[in-house]
Amino acid sequence: MKRRDVMKGGLVLLATTTLASIYKPAYSRTYVGGTGMWKAAPPPPLSVVDPTRLVYLTPQEARLVGAVFDILIPADELGMGATEAGCVTFLDHQLAGPYGSAAKDYRLGPVVEGLPQQGPQGIMTPAEMYRTGLAELEHAAHAEFNKSFLDLSEEQKITFLKGVEGGTISFDTLKSDQFFVLMLQNVREGYLADPMYGGNRDMVGWKLVGFPGAIYDYRDWIVSKRGKKIDVHPVSLLGRA
Amino acid sequence: MNYKRPKADVVIIGLGWSGSTMAEELTRAGLNVVAIERGAWRETSTSFPTTRDPDELSGSVRKEILQAPVTETYTVRNKVGQTALPLRKYHNLTLGNNVGGAGTHWAGASWRWLPFDHQPHTHVMQRYGAGQLVDGLILQDWGVTYDDLEPFYDRFEKIAGTSGTAGVINGQRQPGGNPFEGSRSGPFPTPALERSRANVLFTQAATRLGYNPFPVPSAMIGAPYTNALGLNLAPCTYCGYCQLYGCGNWSKSSPNICILPVLMQRTNFTLVTECEVLRINTTPDKKMATGVTFIDSDGNTGEQPADIVITATFTLDNTRLMLLSGISTPYDVASGQGVVGRAFTFQTLSWAFMFFENEYMNPFMNTGALATQIDDFNGDNFDHTGLGFIGGAGIQSLSNQGLPIGMAGLLPKGSPQWGKGWKQAFQRGYQNYAQIQGQGTSFAHREQFLDLDPTYKDRYGRPLLRITFDYNENDRRSGRFIRDRCVEIAREMGATEVGGDSFADRPYSGYTPWDSSHVQGGVTMGEDPRTSVQNRYQQNWDIPNLFVIGASSFPNNAGYNPTVVVGATTLWTAKAIIDQYIRNPGPLVRL
């Protein structure tokens, strides 16, 4: 270590102690064996999504995506539809967080379209894709039917969304089929993720398939219930929400 | 601001399975060890508390435990001449991002490899001759044999508490185990876990077909166990949150539960977290390593001098660090010369996906490695004469998934993926789905390699590692052969709908669903400095105080998962350092 670097840093170096033991970077840590100072930080506390207000989507966007979601997962005798189950609330909060801003993605350039097996190369974030994609979807509905997607009959909505899924109804600024894949993934997430995230109301998605949630110990059942139906009320992070 | 830490006897880069296993051995031998880890500290009871349920969205879907592409990613192309592009989103290589590495969140299949897998060249030449090899295939022995490694396999299993049923002990066949396995010196530390419904159907079908099913050895602890380091491990409860989750129940072998609580008591051990090593430093003549340079979370550069440098990062990062540090000769695909980045392998997967009628698979009761396997078509356990390939696969009924978001697209053929029809199909499919995985060998090829990307950089401006990989003809032939075996067994199980797939029939992609996360090679060990970076002790041929450990040392991949082999080869190298190198520093193999 050079003394002038220390002086520039505004620190006074005492004796020959290493600077590492004086200088404390924001996250980097030094743990010395045998000192017992190695308790980890606990995971962040659970926070339950507030369904009463929108945090990213506009009210118009929320209505539109809700109408799409209710076609993808409709209400029927097997359970409530996507919007009633909270999937729009789920999506809204996801888009407002690190998922929406693609905070974990590698986003440096150059951005080049590659071969399909090289995976998605676009750097548009999910939040941006919804903002653009929903406007495009509404625009395409007007072009096709001369009315809002919201005002189409159920049959028309299904036909239209099949066109979006297959890419025959195309968008200008993003690929319609990719936007469809994103919406389908997100609505499933909302319907099947823990209710803490705003969707899966009354654990409707879990009850649909018989998923019991996070049960800690199956040792009593791994043999006794092998190949047999298990009737149990599912458990969520919110308890029996 | 730059700073220099006090000199250590040993610096270890990365504290996953290989780094922590090595650190425990060397500190116990009295050496002063500093480990530098890019991720943050994780302590089992606090970081993964059993008082808080795991959940699928944050774990399996958003992959919060993994190293994010924004931190470091790789570029991929199938062949020379194509432009490699970055893996921008989470991909199939499930990288660790914390103390414990991928060993914290791994699925837990805990294999010793076959004697064949460590000496494939010798075996193939003896049995078939060079005519069995497709054009361009690279086949070489490791320089270390199964018999050399057996005591270290045994030791690592006793650190991990591995559960399983032995097939061969001291040359004697054991009922219920794998008859093809290399001879063991003793039983598994803990017994195999109970089987799933799908496992039972597979066992019955495979037995009827004349095969030899056995429980896959697993990191999920089979009974209360005190491991070789005196730590208490608890029996697994089949909760189903293994892969991509930390286990707070002390039931899944990991560095965090099996090693770190002991290591952290040693006063001659220091751990520096959230610091990324930028390069290995050497003397100007590149005859010796002098330590490492790292960058901390504030962007300060630190230096850690040491007498011995051990690189224990992820396979790909081991190779990248060698290339970024300018150590040993990079592989040149045009001439076939050079060694760093050479002999890169993946895993050749084949599948049978199946649906039953009126079953209750109860897929949520599982573990990451709840599997029953046959090895009748693995390694060289069957006669390959006339088949046109070498290798094969472990064929297994794998009950490792029951979380609903991940299964929402697994539907009987022709089912709609949305709408009312999807709800009906998903409801039926969820309880009636099962799968057979053929986890296949992967042999190196002249045109599969790693080097530095000419265009894309990491957050510090250093070149990303470039992967040039596609399946070779050996993979395609073995993959189809194994797929057909998977499908035969699936039909015998009584499934009403069976689909087969061989991934090697399509170009390699980092995003293929249900694909493997296993990559090997790049810094291989071997018998000849012209075809390997390191000698049989994972010691660099050129720089005797540099050891690069982990699956980067393996010149081929077996029809198995690699972790226990990583553990055994690490212990083998640790013993060589302690017993030989410390007493007489210098090359451990003289040519």
Residue A182 Cα, gap to closest chain B Cα (Å):
13
Identify which of A33, A118, A217 has the shortest CB distance to residue B263: A33
Q: Is the pTM of this model over 0.90?
A: yes
Comparing C-alpha atoms, which of B287, B289, B278, B282 is closest to residue B546? B289
Are the beta carbons of B113 and B150 closer than 8 angstroms?
Answer: no
Residue A23's pLDDT band (cuts 50, 70, 90): low
Q: Which domain holds residue B246?
A: 2-581
Q: Which of residues 110-139 of B touch A (CB under 8 A)?
A: none
Strands (E) across chain A are located at: 29-32
The pLDDT confidence band at residue A214, using thresholds 50, 70 and 90, is confident
What sign for the dihedral angle of Cα B331, B459, B279, B156?
negative
Interface check B79 vs A, CB under 8 A:
no
- Contact with chain A for residue B89, Cβ under 8 A: yes
- Chain B touched by A219 (CB under 8 Å): yes
Tell whether A4 is within 8 A of chain B (Cβ): no
**Interface probe with B: pick from A160, A161, A182, A209, most Cβ of B within 10 Å:** A209
Is there a contact between A106 and B69 if contact means CB atoms under 8 Å apart? yes
Cα(A39)–Cα(A37) distance, integer angstroms: 6
Cα–Cα dist B386/B131, whole Å: 10
CA distance A142 to chain B (A): 23
What integer pLDDT is reported at residue A27 of this predicted model? 80
Q: Which of residues 441-470 of B touch A (CB under 8 A)?
A: 455-457
Residue B518 falls in the annotated catalytic set? yes
Token digits of residue A120: 């998605």
Q: How far is B365 from chain A (nearest CA, A)?
A: 6
User: Are A13 and A3 spatial neighbours (Cβ–Cβ below 8 Å)?
Assistant: yes
Partner A contacted by B267 (CB < 8 A)? yes
Whether residues B423 and A76 touch (CB distance < 8 A) is answered with yes
- ipTM confidence score: 0.95
Q: What is the pLDDT of residues B106-144, one digit of tens each?
A: 999 999 999 999 999 999 999 999 999 999 999 999 999
Catalytic residue among B105, B121, B384, B518: B518
* pLDDT band (50, 70, 90) for residue A12: very low
Whether B57 and chain A come into contact, CB under 8 Å, resolves to yes
Of B237, B264, B271, the CB nearest to A216: B237
In chain B, residues with a C-beta closer than 8 Å to the C-beta of A29 are 40-41, 272-274
- pLDDT tens readout for residues A40-64: 888 888 888 999 999 999 999 999 9
Here the CATH number for the domain that contains residue B44 is 3.50.50.60
Task: Give the chain B residue whose CA is nearest to the CA of A8.
Answer: B1
Q: Is some CB atom of chain A closer than 8 A to the CB atom of B76? A: yes
Q: Is residue B586 part of a domain?
A: no
Q: Are strands B269-273 and B33-36 parallel, antiparallel or unpaired?
A: parallel
B296, closest residue in chain A (CA to CA): A28
Q: Is B587 among the domain residues?
A: no
What is the per-residue pLDDT for B252?
A: 98
CA B340, CA B329: separation in Å to the nearest integer? 6
Tokens 């890419």 appear where?
Answer: A167
Q: Hey, are the CB atoms on B88 and A123 less than 8 Å from each other?
A: yes
Preferred mutation among B11, B26, B55, B259 to probe A, highest tally of A CBs within 10 A:
B55
**Omega before A110 within 30 of 0, i.e. cis:** yes
State the DSSP code for B401. -
CA distance B19 to A57: 46
Q: Where are the domains of chain A?
A: 59-103+120-209
pLDDT of residue A238: 78
* A 167-186 residues with CB < 8 A to B: 184
Total number of domains in chain B:
1
Q: Where are the alpha helices (DSSP H) in B408-522?
A: 420-432, 473-492
Q: By the CB < 8 Å criterion, does B591 face chain A?
A: no
B251, B234 in Cβ contact below 8 A? yes
Whether B372 is in a domain gets the answer yes
Query: A-chain residues within 8 Å CB-CB of B200?
Result: 226-227
pLDDT tops 50 at residue A151: yes
| 8 Å CB contact between B145 and B560 | no
Summarize pLDDT for A68-97 with one digit per residue, the tens. Answer: 999 999 999 999 999 999 999 999 999 999
Separation CA A143–CA B291 (nearest Å): 65
For residue B591, being part of any structural domain is answered with: no
Helix (H) or strand (E) segment spanning residue B75? strand B74-77
Q: Specify if B142 maps to a domain.
A: yes
Asked whether residue A16 carries a pLDDT value surpassing 70, the answer given is: no
Does residue A17 have a pLDDT over 80? no
pLDDT tens digits, one per residue of B291-321: 999 999 999 999 999 999 999 999 999 999 9
Enumerate the residues of chain B whose CB falls inside 8 A of the CB of residue A217.
237-239
* CA angle centred on B584, ends B263 and B272, rounded to 5°: 30
Question: Does the pLDDT of residue A22 top 80, yes or no?
Answer: no
Residues in A touching B456 (Cβ below 8 Å): 108
Length of chain B: 591
Interchain CB distance below 8 Å, B418 and A71: yes
B454: nearest CA partner in chain A: A110
Which residues are CB-neighbours of A131 under 8 A, at least 6 positions away?
A61
Three-state secondary-structure class, residue B209:
coil
A122 CA to chain B: closest CA distance, Å?
A: 9
- Cα(A129)–Cα(B548) distance, integer angstroms: 43
Residue B485 lies in a domain: yes
Spatial distance between the Cα atoms of B95 and B444, rounded to a whole number of angstroms: 22
Can you tell me the distance from the alpha carbon of B542 to that of B527, in angstroms, rounded to the nearest whole number?
Answer: 14
Range 59-98 of A in CB contact (< 8 A) with B = 71-74, 76, 78-79
Question: Would the CB atoms of A222 and B424 count as touching at under 8 Å?
Answer: no
The overall longest dimension of chain B from CA atoms, in Å, is 73
Q: What is the pLDDT of residue A24?
A: 63
Chain B segment 492-511 residues within 8 A of A by beta carbon are 506-511
pLDDT (tens digit, 0 to 9) for every residue of chain B, 591 residues total? 789 999 999 999 999 999 999 999 999 999 999 999 999 999 999 999 888 889 999 999 999 999 999 999 999 999 999 999 999 999 999 999 999 999 999 999 999 999 999 999 999 999 999 999 999 999 999 999 999 999 999 999 999 999 999 999 999 999 999 999 999 999 999 999 999 999 999 999 999 999 999 999 999 999 999 999 999 999 999 999 999 999 999 999 999 999 999 999 999 999 999 999 999 999 999 999 999 999 999 999 999 999 999 999 999 999 999 999 999 999 999 999 999 999 999 999 999 999 999 999 999 999 999 999 999 999 999 999 999 999 999 999 999 999 999 999 999 999 999 999 999 999 999 999 999 999 999 999 999 999 999 999 999 999 999 999 999 999 999 999 999 999 999 999 999 999 999 999 999 999 999 999 999 999 999 999 999 999 999 999 999 999 999 999 999 999 999 999 999 999 999 999 999 999 999 999 998
Radius of gyration of chain A (CA): 25
pLDDT of residue B232: 98
Q: What radius of gyration, in Å, describes the C-alpha atoms of chain B?
A: 23
> CA nearest B264 in A: which residue?
A33
Instruction: Indicate the helix (H) or strand (E) that contains A59.
Output: helix A59-72
Taking the CA atoms of B556, B117, B113 and B215 in sequence, report the sign of the dihedral they define: positive
Q: How many CB pairs under 8 A join A and B?
A: 269
Task: Give the closest-approach CA distance of A56 to chain B in angstroms.
Answer: 19
